[in-house]
Structure 1
Amino acid sequence: MHLIDSHCHLDAPEFDGDRDAMLARARAAGVAAMVVPAITAASWPALRQACASDAALHPAYGLHPMFLAEHRPAHLDELRTWLEHGKPCAVGECGLDFFVDGLDATAQRHYFEKQLQLA
Structure 2
Amino acid sequence: ADPAAVAVVHPGVNLDRFRRADGRAAARARLGLPQDALIPLFAGRIQPLKAPDVLLRAVAVLLDRDPSLRSRMVVPVVGGPSGSGLAKPEGLQKLAARLGIADVVRFHPPVGQDRLADWFRAAS
Structure with more contact order per residue of length (Cα contacts < 8 Å, sep ≥ 6) = 2
The structure number with the bigger radius of gyration is 2
TM over 0.5, shorter chain: no
Please give the TM-score of this superposition, normalised by the length of structure 2: 0.36
Please give the TM-score of this superposition, normalised by the length of structure 1: 0.37
Structure holding more strand per residue: 1
